[in-house]
């Protein structure tokens, strides 16, 4: 990871108009990504992780969605203001994505070769022969055995883990600056998950690619990420270096998430911690701390106002009244 900032998300807001009101799926999210950094975005389902990342590449279906505000600065250009023709040159080329289920990401009717070569020819301007050589090289790097033969097979001829390896090879084939991986291992069994995470870490560090890893698993981020953003109800409620967050989480929600991870050094008879209650309905949320109905440390002010952000050393910040009030 270097000091060079390649992506800056500033006060991003993505709303969906539904019959019941306005869903503020992402409501004022800001973060910075450096070259070569791996940033984890964690939170429960519905916290806004995936919508944040779809908003970055301006892929929110409209209607019902709309980007209601903010900026996404990629190498100095605001992606939210680019015309579609310019954006297409960036998607899949400078910023690529891996999704949760590799079977639905790959076209089942097309050979792997067709799908990989098309991307490389389109974005890298290589001829078909050179693009195929590049695709084979990437499949080999991704650990696909006999890549010269397997490149001409169809997705159904690969196992789930192998299909995800193909997706990783395909997404890195244009040497992107940023790889967005949205729950890349949750459709795979545990042993394959570990292999895929190792592969992603190995390939992205060799190619110098920055990664945004979306996951609900703290175990995954602990081994993969330099920095973390914890999201709740469409906002980042805590962020900082991964080691700092694990050693000294400030927000009661982050503390609860960490306590709820099973640990080998705990007695089997110890009851696993769980955060009580459910995530809030994000339709027309009142302007208070959205975590207060589930928080054991809630105060009066938490029910009246959204918490201000408090900054700590080493770019660790938290949005919780406990720290603002204490100061």
* Binds ligand SF4 by CB under 6 A, chosen from 302, 310, 316, 317: 302
What whole-number distance in Å separates Cα of residue 194 and Cα of residue 222?
Answer: 13
Closest to 58 in 3D by CA, of 86, 100, 21, 30: 86
Is residue 232 a contact point for ligand SF4 (CB under 6 A)?
Answer: no
Contacts of 21 (CB under 8 A, 6+ apart): 283, 284
Contacts of 323 (CB under 8 A, 6+ apart): 250, 310
**CB of residue 130 to ligand SF4, shortest distance in Å:** 54
**CB of residue 296 to ligand SF4, shortest distance in Å:** 8
Is residue 295 a contact point for ligand SF4 (CB under 6 A)?
Answer: yes
Half-sphere exposure of residue 317: CA atoms within 13 angstroms, side-chain side: 14
* Binds ligand SF4 by CB under 6 A, chosen from 307, 310, 316, 317: 307
Q: Which lies closer to ligand SF4 via its Cβ, residue 88 or residue 303?
A: 303
Query: Residue 286's CB: how many other CB atoms inside 10 A?
Result: 11
Q: Which two tokens stand for residue 20?
A: 């019941």
What phi and psi values does residue 253 have, to the nearest 5 degrees? Answer: -70, -45
Closest to 138 in 3D by CA, of 115, 155, 157, 156: 115
Is residue 230 a contact point for ligand SF4 (CB under 6 A)?
Answer: no
Contacts of 195 (CB under 8 A, 6+ apart): 143, 161
Q: Which lies closer to ligand SF4 via its Cβ, residue 4 or residue 311?
A: 311
* Binds ligand SF4 by CB under 6 A, chosen from 5, 194, 258, 298: 298
Exposed, middle or buried by CB within 10 Å (0-12, 13-18, 19+), for 101? Answer: middle
Q: Binders of ligand SF4 among 164-203, rule CB under 6 A? A: none
Is residue 31 a contact point for ligand SF4 (CB under 6 A)?
Answer: no
Stretch that binds ligand SF4, among 21-29, 32-40, 88-96, 294-302 (CB under 6 A): 294-302
Stretch that binds ligand SF4, among 18-26, 98-106, 262-270, 296-304 (CB under 6 A): 296-304
Is residue 222 a contact point for ligand SF4 (CB under 6 A)?
Answer: no
* Binds ligand SF4 by CB under 6 A, chosen from 162, 291, 310, 317: 291
What whole-number distance in Å separates Cα of residue 216 and Cα of residue 117?
Answer: 33
Q: Are strands 77-78 and 309-311 parallel, antiparallel or unpaired?
A: unpaired
**CB of residue 275 to ligand SF4, shortest distance in Å:** 11
**CB of residue 35 to ligand SF4, shortest distance in Å:** 33
* Binds ligand SF4 by CB under 6 A, chosen from 23, 179, 230, 322: 322
Is residue 252 a contact point for ligand SF4 (CB under 6 A)?
Answer: yes
What whole-number distance in Å separates Cα of residue 247 and Cα of residue 244?
Answer: 5
Q: Which lies closer to ligand SF4 via its Cβ, residue 222 or residue 298?
A: 298
Binding site for ligand SF4 (CB under 6 A): 251-252, 289, 291-292, 295, 297-299, 302, 307, 320-322
């Amino acid at each position: 990871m270097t000091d060079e900032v390649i992506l800056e998300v500033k006060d991003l807001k993505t709303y969906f108009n539904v019959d019941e009101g306005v869903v503020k799926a992402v409501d004022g999210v800001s973060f910075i990504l450096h070259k070569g950094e791996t940033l984890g975005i964690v939170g429960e389902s519905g916290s806004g992780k995936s919508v944040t990342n779809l908003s970055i590449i301006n892929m929110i279906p409209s209607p019902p969605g709309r980007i209601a505000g903010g900026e996404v600065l990629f190498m100095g250009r605001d992606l939210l203001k680019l015309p579609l023709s310019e954006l297409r040159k960036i998607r899949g080329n400078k910023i690529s994505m891996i999704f949760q289920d590799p079977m639905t990401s790959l076209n089942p009717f097309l050979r792997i070769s067709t799908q990989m070569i098309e991307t490389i020819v389109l974005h890298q301007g290589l001829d078909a022969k050179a693009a195929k050589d590049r695709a084979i090289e990437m499949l080999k790097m991704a650990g696909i055995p006999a890549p010269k033969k397997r490149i001409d097979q169809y997705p159904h001829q690969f196992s789930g883990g192998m299909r995800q390896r193909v997706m990783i090879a395909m997404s890195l084939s244009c040497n992107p600056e940023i790889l967005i991986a949205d729950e890349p291992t949750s459709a795979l069994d545990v042993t394959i998950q570990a292999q895929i995470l190792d592969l992603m870490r190995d390939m992205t560090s060799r190619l110098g690619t920055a990664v945004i890893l979306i996951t609900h698993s703290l175990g995954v981020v602990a081994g993969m990420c330099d920095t973390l953003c914890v999201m709740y109800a469409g906002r980042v409620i805590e962020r900082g270096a991964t080691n700092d967050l694990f050693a000294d989480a400030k927000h009661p929600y982050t503390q609860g998430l960490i306590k709820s991870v099973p640990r080998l050094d705990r007695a089997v008879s110890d009851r696993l911690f769980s955060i009580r209650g459910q995530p809030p309905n994000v339709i027309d949320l009142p302007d208070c701390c959205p975590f207060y109905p589930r928080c054991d440390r809630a105060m009066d002010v938490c029910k009246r106002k959204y918490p201000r952000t408090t900054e700590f050393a080493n770019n660790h910040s938290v949005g919780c009244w406990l720290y603002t009030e204490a100061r």
